[in-house]
Structure 1
Amino acid sequence: MANVKIVTDSSAQLSEEEINNLGITVVPLSVMIDETVYVDGETITREDFVKKMLTADNLPKTSQPPVGKFVDAFNRLGEDGSPVLCICMMEGLSGTVNAAKQAGTLSSSNVTVIDSGNIDRGLAFQVIKAGQMALEGNSIDEILSELEKVKVHTKMFMGVMTLDNIVKGGRLHPFVGAVTNLLNIKIILSVYNGDLKIKSKLRGMKSMKKYCFNALDKLKQDESLSSVAISYVNSTDFISELADQVKQSFSDIPFLYRVTSPVVSTHAGEGAFALYYLENY
């Protein structure tokens, strides 16, 4: 029987090496900046997107891949009889998983689509495990069972420095956003039950640094981590410092430090970052 083929969307924080070595198919999202549409990873890099976002007249608009792109990918991958497993970013941030599910019903292949309940590197942890297990010849049911464990042992927190993009996107009342920015409030978000929720509100950059380095000190005492990553919108001195500390503290496990995807950048805004880690289990 042919091996399971793994598909994900371009919000997954994967290195080119991981994509190639594990045979992952990535379906790209699109983004529109000031009436110009770009395809994530094809007609615009993540770095160029951030530059354009920070100088754009309006907040960029992101959109899930067309259903037809998923159908084409599913049909091609399943042409030899291979079952297809598609792992998408959380539904709370994008309709991508719904587009993939619709495509699964239209495809001639045997397709299973799941909501990872996570984003960025948190999504990637599941995709990587699925890719490894697929290469080993495991079934979709076996892979899905293992991904439930990966979900439980994936931890993250995201630091949001300004609420400007959240206000522009209509997720927060302008008055609340203005007051929050005036008071220099920073937000810590985390994933709860497949959605991003506020974990903490901090007053000023000093409090943000204290929170992050205290969290890092606690992580240093945890010898059960298998992977760690920092994703960011645009590099700042603080994020670079945090990355250096993480790299030094966990030099014996994989560490990925990279610009996040356009969909996360659009929602999180300038200066935002996220720390992800996967516990051994």
Structure 2
Amino acid sequence: MCRVRIFTDSTCDLSNELVQQYQIEIVPLYVVFEDQSLKDGVSVKSDRLFELVEQTGKLPKTAAPSPIDFERAFEGVIQSGDDIVYIGLSSELSSTIQNAAIAAANFPDDRITLIDSRNLSTGIGLLVLKAAQAAQDGKSSAEIKIMIESLRSRIEVEFIIDTLEYLHKGGRCSSVQHFIGSLLKIRPVVKVINGAMTLTDKVRGKREKALQQLLDNALAQKDDMDTEFLFVTHALAAEEAAYVKRQIEHQTNVKQVYMTETGCVVSSHCGPRTVGIVFAKK
């Protein structure tokens, strides 16, 4: 009986340790700075991205892997006799899943199963880990697809953004909103709703207040949390993320709280000092 191998893309924001532990294959997106096309997580990481934004005053563009990129990634695994389950970035945010589908059509039917995560960052990562565990337990591609598509609507993803600067540079808030927000020290709250990034709230005041709001929002749902694992994900905010991690560990029954760093795609939208909490509901 063939094995099932789990594929995803670089927006999953899983640590190298988890990727290696669960033998997950990553297909990188691209970060484009003028004439430079860099592979997310391979030839550029978030700290370098923030340096380039500071130097140029501009945000990069992001681009999906091409169908050829996917075909090359899939080919060796299919030739080895294994099947593939690919869980990708929300189709509301990128053409990544569509390009994977174009590539999959060049292989025999039923060998590659595609799942739209309807999510981003470790919202994808959580689904990927669940799929990888199921694959290790011998579940088929069809069984994994049913499980993940049932679970994806129960993923909670919320980020506190430290500054409106990146949203402004990316055209997601006006110059007036940016000016007033900066003046009043407004920190946006972003959630994933129906597969898209949605600005749900604005916390005014000190950063500590915003972090507490993030924690309070998650802890209000602690009785509904899947207690297997939870993610605290950050961009250049390791100290604050560690604090959030400790609070989650102390105040919930979650068995494993992972702390991970955002990749370039999420970082280019949210900016440095972003902190998020990601978990599944029962």
* Range of TM-score over shorter length: 0.7 to 0.9
* Mapped partners of 1:255, 1:50: distance in 2: 26
Give the aligned residue type for 1:39.
K
1:102 matched to 2:99: no
CA drift at 1:53: 3.5
Give the aligned residue type for 1:29.
L
Q: After TM superposition, list the pairs within 5 Å mapping 1:90-129 onto structure 2.
A: 90-108=90-108, 110-129=111-130
- The structure-2 alpha-carbon separation of the partners of 1:223 and 1:166, relative to structure 1 and needing over 3 Å to count, comes to closer
CA drift at 1:217: 4.4
Corresponding residue of 2:73: 73
* Mapped partners of 2:273, 2:169: distance in 1: 16
Contact 1:50/1:234 (8 A) holds in 2 = no
Contact 1:60/1:266 (8 A) holds in 2 = yes
Corresponding residue of 2:48: 48
Unmatched segments (≥5 aa) in structure 2:
none
- The structure-2 alpha-carbon separation of the partners of 1:255 and 1:239, relative to structure 1 and needing over 3 Å to count, comes to closer
- Once the two structures are superposed, residues 111-130 of structure 1 have per-residue CA deviations (whole angstroms, 9 ceiling, x without a partner) of 22221011111101111111
1:196 matched to 2:197: yes
* Mapped partners of 1:233, 1:176: distance in 2: 23
* Mapped partners of 2:132, 2:225: distance in 1: 25
* 2:232 alignment partner, one of 217, 226, 230: 230
* Mapped partners of 1:189, 1:9: distance in 2: 21
Contact 1:33/1:56 (8 A) holds in 2 = no
* Mapped partners of 1:180, 1:30: distance in 2: 30
CA drift at 1:37: 2.8
Corresponding residue of 2:62: 62
CA drift at 1:181: 2.5
SS at match of 2:228: strand
1:87 matched to 2:87: yes
Q: After TM superposition, list the pairs within 5 Å mapping 1:1-281 onto structure 2.
A: 1-33=1-33, 35-108=35-108, 110-205=111-206, 207-218=209-220, 224-235=226-237, 238-249=240-251, 253-279=255-281, 281=282
Taking structure 2 as the reference length, the TM-score comes to 0.87
CA drift at 1:9: 0.2
Q: Name the stretch that deviates more: 91-100 or 63-72.
A: 91-100
Unmatched segments (≥5 aa) in structure 1:
none
Contact 2:31/2:60 (8 A) holds in 1 = yes
Give the aligned residue type for 1:159.
I
Taking structure 1 as the reference length, the TM-score comes to 0.88
- Once the two structures are superposed, residues 173-205 of structure 1 have per-residue CA deviations (whole angstroms, 9 ceiling, x without a partner) of 333333333332221111222222222222222
- The structure-2 alpha-carbon separation of the partners of 1:259 and 1:56, relative to structure 1 and needing over 3 Å to count, comes to farther
* Mapped partners of 1:11, 1:123: distance in 2: 8
- The structure-2 alpha-carbon separation of the partners of 1:177 and 1:186, relative to structure 1 and needing over 3 Å to count, comes to same
* Mapped partners of 2:179, 2:245: distance in 1: 30
Runs of 4+ in structure 1 over 6 Å off: none
- The structure-2 alpha-carbon separation of the partners of 1:188 and 1:140, relative to structure 1 and needing over 3 Å to count, comes to same
Q: Name the stretch that deviates more: 24-33 or 221-230.
A: 221-230
- The structure-2 alpha-carbon separation of the partners of 1:237 and 1:224, relative to structure 1 and needing over 3 Å to count, comes to closer
Aligned residue pairs total 280
Give the aligned residue type for 1:270.
P
CA drift at 1:10: 0.9
Q: Name the stretch that deviates more: 103-112 or 179-188.
A: 103-112
Q: RMSD of aligned C-alpha atoms?
A: 2.5
